[in-house]
Structure 1
Amino acid sequence: MTKITSMVLASMLLLAGGAAAQEGGKAISQTTISLGTATPGGGFPLFGDNFAAVMNSADPALVIAPRNTKGSYENIPLLEEGKLDLGLVAGEPAYEAFKGIKRPVTPLKILVAMYSSPGMFVVRADSPYKKIQDLVGQPVAFGAKGSGLPVMSRFILDALGLKQDEDFKAIYLDHAGDGPAMVLDGRAAALWGAGSGWPGFTTMAKSQPGARFIAPTAEEIARIRARHPFLKPMTIPAGSYPGQTAPIDSLGSWGFVLTRADLPDDIAYRLIRTLHENEAALCRKLSQACETTAANTLSAAPDPSLIHPGVMKYLREIGVAKP
């Protein structure tokens, strides 16, 4: 069976499944859609599992099957090779792929923007570290190998005149969930992460003796923005983590659910329509997914041409995008 024939059959199955579901009482033809996430214990598997649960419940004809990977830098080539249908990709690796930085320009498309990810460090509340410069020379866990987190930190530190692998004793994790334990038992002075509801930050904040967050200062944010304008000012609201009584200003980027370049338009259309109709349900399951909306997808995309044509068709229909 050729790839094109498989795509056509997948589209037919999807449409037939929708019709059977509406009739009720009959077997539903299902189309399985693979979704690459990241290593266990990180934010991508948490998002992917909740995203799949809401989408699968809303449309039984679609079966989104999350799969653990090494993260953004594995998901991109797997999508390009057609070994994944969808993949979660952090903002910085997506930016590099879309721009062709140190690699060919990718043909992948955006299905939906996930959530904003302002980056920052977390340390034990009883540690002596108060600012980024205090961490110079210390062992720091920058995230899982293959994930986008170490790339974000590299951009930010570069703008501050710091080299991640030379000015710090950089640690790259096999599994994202290993980071908090390393800080709590002293193997690492700090853990780098991003966003509201990030599992590593939650674990640290709930631990004894608690956590302290270290983000760039206002002056440092200005320096970073001047060098890397694709990084946007973002704020983590007060109360996002236990014991966090004040908002935290930082900067970061939006992560995306990307699709393989040849995902049929009708499947992308159905996925974004199902998501848009169930945004509130996804928000109730996962606080950071409250940002996973059709409207945010258009505003977060570096260029509208990068959004999947099937998605753009739906965004025009609901008035989010111009006809």
Structure 2
Amino acid sequence: MNIARVVCAGVLLLAGSAAAQQGGEAIQKTTIKLGTATPGGGFPLYGNNFAEIMNAADPTLLIEPRNTKGSNENIPLLEKGELDIGLVAGEPSYEAFMGIGRPRTNVKILTAIYSNPGMFVVRADSPYKTIRDLVGKPIAFGAKGSGLPILSRYMLDGLGLKQDEDFKAIYLDHAGDGPAMVLDGRVAALWGAGIGWPGFGAVAASPGGARFIAPDADEIAYIRAKHAFLKPLTVPAGSYPGQNSPINSVGSWSFVLARASLPDDVAYRLARTLHGAETALCAKLAQACETTAANTVAAAPSLDLIHPGVLRYLREIGVVK
């Protein structure tokens, strides 16, 4: 009986503390599990900022980012309901939506997050200036399980090159390991994608500087002739230290995907909160300026792949008719 009184008092104490923290009113939070990728990569950077801005914008949300192995792990975790939402690169998303090499997925798009123009970074003092110069060399193609090696595989295939045969392909345990490997010469180049990608930033900000290698105009045409889902994309000048000119390449859009069973009203709230906080997210992270409702509609392979709760919101604001 005494134990029961102690437990009851403890519960009341906790409840009172929660109420006090919310100005006397307890707020019931909806917890959302967000899968990102390995530390040091672009997805954890984006995911942590996404969660911070969303949680601040809607006190009833508690988005909890967690590191995973990346895109290739996030999709099955979403399918099993072990994640509510997850960051997934464009190529793994495309393969899952189309059923390439696996059954078609039932996960849905919550939002497009940013475009991913793919390219290599080398030290500025290296002799490598074209993709062909890198043939036969050790190349860090990104973290195991991430979407980056899939993008490079498609791009190189469009040029008649095989990633694991024509290069000494290295796949990282952690995305953050790549820059040091370029700088100390263990690899000739690091493959990556996007604007504001941490690996590129680290190499470009090193004392010796960096040079970026991307397909030229003819190579882009060859790639797109074979893989039309890859889009022409541009890295604007000044995106990285010492990058004085725009860089043209190919790539796709990364997404926040949601488990198919995520309730419509929760997906609606997430979309409403996100796009209401676009300005704050953009101010927090440059690449997040591409996270807009209009870009989600443009990047989705078809509207029926967008979560129904999100579509409801997009119709309300007139982005979808």
TM-score (norm 1): 0.92
Unaligned segments of structure 1, at least 5 residues: 1-19
**Aligned equivalent of 1:143:** 142
**Aligned equivalent of 2:217:** 218
**Aligned equivalent of 1:77:** 76
**Aligned equivalent of 2:97:** 98
Alignment of 1:22-101 (within 5 A): 25-101=24-100
CA deviation after TM superposition for structure 1 residue 25, in Å: 4.1
Unaligned segments of structure 2, at least 5 residues: 1-18
Distance in 2, matches of 1:276 and 1:214, equals 34
Distance in 1, matches of 2:23 and 2:180, equals 49
**Aligned equivalent of 2:126:** 127
**Aligned equivalent of 1:178:** 177
Distance in 1, matches of 2:23 and 2:186, equals 57
Moved over 2 A (4+): none
Letter of the 2:152 partner, please give it.
Answer: S
CA deviation after TM superposition for structure 1 residue 27, in Å: 1.3
Alignment of 1:229-240 (within 5 A): 229-240=228-239
Alignment of 1:203-214 (within 5 A): 203-214=202-213
Distance in 2, matches of 1:40 and 1:246, equals 29
Distance in 1, matches of 2:118 and 2:23, equals 47
Alignment of 1:228-307 (within 5 A): 228-307=227-306
**Aligned equivalent of 2:108:** 109
CA deviation after TM superposition for structure 1 residue 24, in Å: 6.2
Distance in 2, matches of 1:242 and 1:184, equals 15
TM-score (norm 2): 0.93
CA deviation after TM superposition for structure 1 residue 295, in Å: 1.2
Distance in 2, matches of 1:313 and 1:231, equals 28
**Aligned equivalent of 1:3:** none
**Aligned equivalent of 2:3:** none
The Cα RMSD (Å) is 1.0
**What's the CA shift string for 1:189-228, capped at 9, x where partnerless?**
0000001100000000100210000000000000000000
CA deviation after TM superposition for structure 1 residue 121, in Å: 0.2
Distance in 2, matches of 1:134 and 1:54, equals 43
**What's the CA shift string for 1:124-157, capped at 9, x where partnerless?**
0000000000000000000000000000000000
Distance in 2, matches of 1:259 and 1:74, equals 14
**Aligned equivalent of 2:186:** 187
Overall identity of the aligned pairs, in % = 76
Letter of the 1:230 partner, please give it.
Answer: F
- How many residues in Structure 1 have an aligned counterpart in Structure 2? 301
Distance in 1, matches of 2:168 and 2:24, equals 60
**What's the CA shift string for 1:152-210, capped at 9, x where partnerless?**
00000011010000000000000000000000000000000001100000000100210
Letter of the 1:34 partner, please give it.
Answer: K
- 1:314 and 2:318 correspond: no
CA deviation after TM superposition for structure 1 residue 294, in Å: 1.1
State the structure with more CA Rg. 2
CA deviation after TM superposition for structure 1 residue 60, in Å: 1.1
**Aligned equivalent of 1:158:** 157
